[in-house]
Structure 1
């Protein structure tokens, strides 16, 4: 059904400009397909009709947030590894999921996707837990000999995103140390085919979970690039994240460069332990970067040189990473933490402004994911994915600069509603999805049992 939103403080974040597109007292018309048909300042033109009218009474209406780097299955694992850096934290978290069934992963992912929606995130790049189980890192390396789970272990995670009603790019590990090259590609192709058979309005694309950083295989980058070209998929690699074994990590950049990966569709997640040469080569090649400030702080990973990368022309998006290391999937917290980290690092408030982090967490994320034609901003023709945020509940005082107040003073406590395709999916933090209660029950049942089986406190 169509929807007319009225009396809105619109923040549109339009493409092609740094202007946040603020319209004080505007309207938004959503057509029957869930896309934006009209948007403008003031009242809707005379004669404008819709099946429903939503009067937001001066609240902000802004694009749903985009998380360009996420692991939705971790929503039930918050608080683990609280005193660990990346590898020890992975042992605590992924050592648990290593024992999960495909059906348990479905409910875990569904729970995480609903949590994202409740926090105003309407599109996510979702790294699925790979078919090859986690194994501990030794000197920054894995042996690559852990056992494999069935194909359903991946496909049920994609199903969880779909059934939650979250728009997503499905990121799939190639597990390039298990089987022949033909078997590796056949396995990956089957996962991609499952995702591509879904509703394209929710499953926005398939991608590779770049595993070169973790893989002991010397030609892992070539295997990934072959799949990128053959299937037309993107690739996001966890890369240069941890402050451990830095020289070993940096040595692997040459693998992606030499395999010809540094072009459109290649993203580096985290990208912290860089060198000037690595950044320059990545920018020259056309690679993008996803920035996870809250996660990077929680795991003591460091601070990525984002202002410098942006100045050099690198495309950057923001992500919330694991809910088990961002803890609260709050995009406002993520924006403020990122801005504060950069200002403190460079001792200059102008290196990162509120309008910029808002763009990075909406349209910027959509751009690096290759889905900005459909999501990331409020523009005619795009999906009507938006948040309604009330600056009076609780009251934050006068809005001297509304867009900056939106970034600096809003939080989940001000989030009134979240809409996907013009349909309400979260009402003041409460999901409208009929599976929400069951997802919560399943997560509370599964994880304590798994931790108990491992002899861990829970």
Structure 2
């Protein structure tokens, strides 16, 4: 069904320019295929018609947010590990999922995906909980001998994402210490093959959850590079995140570099505990990074040198990470934390401006995920994934600089509607998904089901 949006404060975030593409009073036409057919300033040309007209009466219409680093299965695990940095927090959170079934992970992932949509995030890079269960880190290391769960553990998480209606890139760990090389590649191939049966308009791609920081296997990077080439997938690695065992983490950079991962477009998630040499070699090799401001603050990980990386030519996206370490999936909060953290670190307000931050959390994220041809901005031919944000409910006062106010003064309270492919998926915080109520009920059952198995996580 086609849709005509009128009287919109359009923020289009077009590619190829730093201009946010603001239009004070504009319109947008969505075709039957869910893609943007036309848009412009003023009123639509005479004869422009659609099956439905949405008059937003001066509200912002902007691209749905893109989270370039997310763990949607964590939606039932908020508030854990508050007194810990990364590894202790993982013990609390992933030590809990180790006792969850594939079906429980399905409902948790569906709940997390709907939560993202309710907050205006329409596309996510989603790390699934690996098949190999979590084991505690000791001095930044682990043995890699934890038990392996069946393929349905990944498949059910992928189904939860799919059934929510969010667009996503599905990332799976290779767990290279579990089995022979042939078994490792066959297992990963089965994970990729399954998600490739989904609707390609929603399942936008497959990826590797890079595990070199976590894996004791000396050839973990080589396994991942071979899989990237063999299966045509991307790779994002949690890397140099935690303030613990920093020298050990840094020593593993050479594994990715020497295996050829940088040239294949490896994305480093977090990338905080770096050195000038590591950054320079990453930029020269063509690697990108995903920045998670709220998560980095929650886990006391530190502040990535994002302005410096951008100045050197590194591509950067922004992720909300997960509900268990950001607690509220609020992209406006995430943007503001990012801006404030960089300005506090550099003591320079120009080090991170609102327009730039918005681009990083939309088109920039889509670019490092390899999906910018389909999402991340409001441009003809792309999917009509957008948010309707009313600056008068609640009223923030005059919009002296509308785009800056959109970033600095808006919040989920102002978010009135979320559309994916021109279809309403959430209105005033209420999901249109028929599974939403059941997903909520299932997630609320988790404590009673899991606590007898592992005790109460800290």
- TM-score normalised according to structure 2 size: 0.99
Which position in structure 2 is the counterpart of 1:154? Answer: 154
What are the superposed Cα offsets for residues 250-270 of structure 1, whole Å, 9 maximum, x if unpaired? Answer: 000000000000024310000
Provide the C-alpha distance between the structure 1 equivalents of 2:429 and 2:265, rounded to a whole number of angstroms: 34
Which position in structure 2 is the counterpart of 1:28? Answer: 28
Which position in structure 1 is the counterpart of 2:15? Answer: 15
Equivalences for residues 89-104 of structure 1 within 5 A: 89-104=89-104
What are the superposed Cα offsets for residues 406-428 of structure 1, whole Å, 9 maximum, x if unpaired? Answer: 00000000000000000000101
Which position in structure 2 is the counterpart of 1:197? Answer: 197
What are the superposed Cα offsets for residues 160-217 of structure 1, whole Å, 9 maximum, x if unpaired? Answer: 1110000000001000000000000000000000011100010000000000000000
What are the superposed Cα offsets for residues 360-413 of structure 1, whole Å, 9 maximum, x if unpaired? Answer: 000000000000000000000000000000000000000000000000000000
Which position in structure 2 is the counterpart of 1:302? Answer: 302
Which position in structure 2 is the counterpart of 1:112? Answer: 112
What are the superposed Cα offsets for residues 104-138 of structure 1, whole Å, 9 maximum, x if unpaired? Answer: 11001000000000000000000000000000000
Which position in structure 1 is the counterpart of 2:268? Answer: 268
Equivalences for residues 23-102 of structure 1 within 5 A: 23-102=23-102
Provide the C-alpha distance between the structure 2 equivalents of 1:318 and 1:331, rounded to a whole number of angstroms: 9
Provide the C-alpha distance between the structure 1 equivalents of 2:329 and 2:68, rounded to a whole number of angstroms: 13
Provide the C-alpha distance between the structure 2 equivalents of 1:125 and 1:442, rounded to a whole number of angstroms: 24
* Residue aligned with 1:79, SS: coil
What are the superposed Cα offsets for residues 258-316 of structure 1, whole Å, 9 maximum, x if unpaired? Answer: 00000243100000000000000000000000000000000000000000000000000
Which position in structure 2 is the counterpart of 1:289? Answer: 289
Q: Is the 8 A contact 2:76 2:446 kept in 1?
A: no
The root-mean-square deviation of aligned C-alpha atoms, in Å, is 0.8
Provide the C-alpha distance between the structure 2 equivalents of 1:86 and 1:26, rounded to a whole number of angstroms: 45
* Residue aligned with 1:451, SS: helix
- TM-score normalised according to structure 1 size: 0.99
Alpha carbons of 1:149 and 1:457: their partners in 2 closer, same or farther (altered >3 Å)? closer
Q: Is the 8 A contact 1:265 1:369 kept in 2?
A: no
Provide the C-alpha distance between the structure 2 equivalents of 1:53 and 1:227, rounded to a whole number of angstroms: 47
Equivalences for residues 360-379 of structure 1 within 5 A: 360-379=360-379
Provide the C-alpha distance between the structure 1 equivalents of 2:101 and 2:81, rounded to a whole number of angstroms: 22
Which position in structure 1 is the counterpart of 2:351? Answer: 351
Which position in structure 2 is the counterpart of 1:208? Answer: 208
Task: Please state how far the C-alpha of 1:75 moved relative to its aligned partner.
Answer: 0.6
Task: Please state how far the C-alpha of 1:448 moved relative to its aligned partner.
Answer: 3.3
Task: Please state how far the C-alpha of 1:457 moved relative to its aligned partner.
Answer: 6.8
* Residue aligned with 1:76, SS: coil
Which position in structure 2 is the counterpart of 1:280? Answer: 280
Which position in structure 2 is the counterpart of 1:438? Answer: 438
Task: Please state how far the C-alpha of 1:332 moved relative to its aligned partner.
Answer: 0.2
* Residue aligned with 1:39, SS: strand
Task: Please state how far the C-alpha of 1:447 moved relative to its aligned partner.
Answer: 3.4
| Aligned: 1:166 with 2:166 | yes
Provide the C-alpha distance between the structure 1 equivalents of 2:46 and 2:173, rounded to a whole number of angstroms: 52
Provide the C-alpha distance between the structure 2 equivalents of 1:457 and 1:37, rounded to a whole number of angstroms: 50
Provide the C-alpha distance between the structure 2 equivalents of 1:185 and 1:447, rounded to a whole number of angstroms: 35
Which position in structure 2 is the counterpart of 1:175? Answer: 175
Structure 2 stretches lacking a partner, 5+ long: none
Paired positions, count: 458
Q: Is the 8 A contact 2:80 2:457 kept in 1?
A: no
